[in-house]
Amino acid sequence: MNIVLYSKNNCVWCDRAKNLLNSVNLPFDEIDLSDDTERSEFYKKIGEGVKTVPQIFIDDTRVGGYPQLVTWFEENGI
């Protein structure tokens, strides 16, 4: 399983997502989008209406943010 988490500094939801993944020993790559310009470019690439981090991708499929990650865990019995 390939997990990529896009985050920024001082983001409570990013920290929660990282803690959740770490709590079940799921390794992930983190990409820091603390730079406003980089983050804006990222949002443009992933779709209309996306303006928050974290953004989590599992096996190249966008799961979404922290609440969607929790739902993904529930649906996959993790």
| Alpha-carbon gap, residue 27 to 44, rounded angstroms | 27
- Global pTM reads 0.92
- CATH class of segment(s) 3-75: alpha beta
Given a cut of 50, the residues of the chain with pLDDT beneath it are none
Give the total residue count for the chain: 78
| Partners of 7 in the β-ladder | 32
